[in-house]
């Protein structure tokens, strides 16, 4: 492994970390604004022009707040849990090609940190590990509502891992590779080549499961909204709570990248227009997360389980079987 490659990778890691930590902050601004507009409010207006500096104010608040470790919590696990959430969210980013490769000062940059040939498996696996953040945080909190929420989110995450995995299996069979770059190449022919046309069911299943994986409304069961407390994060304060938050928003951004890469042609042929297209698609999926939050109510946990095991999983299996038959004959 030569030095140039090492330096390039480190630079890419730092850039991705910085951009997406900042985006996670700005994401909260977008979320507040869009939710506000949809509910005919104005949202944050006072800090900076149109409330733009609200993000900075929140950041300062989170960083300077006292880091409270309550009595009776299991200290070490309590402290490490938010780090797991944030770290796994960013680790998943390693296998995502954010842009097509481009030339910078005569040097070809691949905007993917590691083009591992099991990219999708890696991303799903890391996102699965992300479950330990809420789970350990809730279990270590010495608060029964945190514990309830942690158990519930664990159940949701594990169940919807199944749907995610099964729904993605059919496209993987068609492409014959687990690398996101290969997925993109497969669809690079243009609009008609998008996998969503041949696998609409898988697309919708994956999209639905993405809501559960990121814990967003209508599957926002990680927070105990109906118990009027904030779920597994109840006992957390300051930057530890902020890490949970950054993890959640970074996850939303990464999933919003993964869905178009898998189903909607990614960055297409790799031209500048294709790159813009990927960003536009990503923005739409991120916007959709906020949109549903304004429009839809949360479902009950039992309804969520019912949806997963009795509806989505059978459909995913049938989809795989049909895909297999079509490919065989």
Partner 1 sequence: MKNTEVFNNRNVSENGYYLVDIADYPTDGWGKFKRVVKRTFRGELFVGLWVVLREMIKFDIHTIQYPQEKMPIGPRYRAVHEMKRLWESDAERCIGCGLCEKICISNCIKMDTRIDEHSRKEVSEYTINLGRCIFCGYCAEVCPELAITHGGEYEQASEQREHFVDYSYMLTPLDKMKAGTQVEFEGFGSITPHEDERVKKTPLAY
Residues that bind partner 1 (CB under 8 A): 34, 37-42, 45, 291-292, 294-296, 311
Question: Whose CA is closest to 89, among 203, 184, 179, 214?
Answer: 214
CB of 254 to partner 1, least distance (A): 23
DSSP assignment, residue 309? I
CB of 48 to partner 1, least distance (A): 15
Alpha carbon of 296 to those of 218, 229, 292: distances in Å?
A: 6, 20, 5
| Three-state secondary structure call for residue 6 | helix
CB of 297 to partner 1, least distance (A): 9
- 244 exposed, middle or buried (CB, 10 Å; 0-12, 13-18, 19+)? buried
Please, which residues bridge with residue 102 across strands? 109
Does residue 218 have a cis bond before it (omega within 30 degrees)?
A: yes
CB of 295 to partner 1, least distance (A): 4
Contact 146, 73 (CB under 8 A): no
Alpha carbon of 254 to those of 143, 187, 210: distances in Å?
A: 31, 20, 10
Q: Under the phi-then-psi rule, with left for phi > 0, alpha for psi from -120 to 50, and beta for the rest, what region is 297?
A: beta
CB of 38 to partner 1, least distance (A): 4
Of the pair 39, 108, the CB lying nearest partner 1 is at 39
CB of 51 to partner 1, least distance (A): 11
CB of 56 to partner 1, least distance (A): 21
Tell me the two tokens of residue 149.
């929420």
Of the pair 102, 284, the CB lying nearest partner 1 is at 284
Does residue 207 have a cis bond before it (omega within 30 degrees)?
A: no
CB of 42 to partner 1, least distance (A): 6
Q: At what angle do helices 144-175 and 200-214 cross, to 10 degrees?
A: 160
Residues 6 or more apart in contact with residue 105 via CB below 8 angstroms: none
Of the pair 92, 312, the CB lying nearest partner 1 is at 312
Question: Whose CA is closest to 319, among 120, 168, 182, 160?
Answer: 168
Of the pair 60, 295, the CB lying nearest partner 1 is at 295
CB of 50 to partner 1, least distance (A): 12
Of the pair 54, 143, the CB lying nearest partner 1 is at 54
Of the pair 66, 302, the CB lying nearest partner 1 is at 302
Question: Whose CA is closest to 254, among 78, 145, 123, 135?
Answer: 123
Of the pair 52, 147, the CB lying nearest partner 1 is at 52
Of the pair 119, 218, the CB lying nearest partner 1 is at 218
Q: What angle do CA 173, 130, 299 make, to 5 degrees?
A: 85
Of the pair 145, 285, the CB lying nearest partner 1 is at 285
């Amino acid at each position: 492994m030569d030095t140039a490659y090492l330096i390039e990778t480190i630079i890419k890691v730092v850039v991705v970390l910085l951009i997406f930590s900042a985006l996670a902050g700005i994401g909260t601004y977008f979320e507040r604004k869009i939710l506000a507009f949809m509910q005919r409010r104005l949202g944050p207006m006072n800090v900076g022009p149109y409330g733009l500096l609200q993000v900075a104010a929140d950041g300062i608040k989170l960083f300077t707040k006292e880091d409270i470790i309550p009595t009776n919590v299991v200290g070490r696990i309590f402290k490490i849990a938010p780090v797991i959430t944030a770290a796994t969210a960013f680790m998943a980013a390693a296998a995502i090609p954010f842009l097509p490769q481009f030339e910078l000062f005569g040097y070809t940059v691949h905007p993917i940190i590691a083009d591992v040939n099991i990219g999708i498996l890696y991303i799903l696996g890391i996102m699965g590990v992300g479950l330990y953040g809420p789970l350990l945080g809730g279990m270590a909190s010495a608060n029964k509502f945190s514990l309830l929420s942690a158990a519930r989110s664990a159940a949701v995450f594990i169940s919807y891992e199944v749907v995610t995995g099964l729904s993605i299996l059919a496209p993987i069979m068609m492409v014959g590779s687990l690398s996101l770059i290969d997925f993109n190449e497969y669809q690079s022919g243009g609009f008609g080549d998008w996998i969503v046309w041949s696998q609409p069911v898988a697309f919708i299943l994956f999209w639905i499961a993405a809501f559960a994986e990121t814990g967003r409304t209508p599957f926002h069961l990680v927070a105990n909204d109906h118990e009027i407390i904030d779920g597994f994060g109840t006992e957390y304060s300051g930057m530890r709570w902020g890490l949970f938050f950054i993890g959640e928003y970074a996850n939303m951004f990464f999933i919003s990248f993964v869905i178009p890469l898998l189903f909607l042609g990614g960055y297409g042929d790799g031209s500048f227009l294709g790159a813009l297209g990927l960003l536009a698609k990503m923005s739409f999926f991120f916007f959709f997360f906020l949109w549903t939050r304004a429009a839809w109510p949360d479902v009950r946990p039992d309804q969520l389980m019912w949806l997963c095991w009795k509806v989505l999983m059978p459909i995913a299996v049938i989809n795989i079987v049909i895909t297999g038959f079509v490919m065989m004959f």
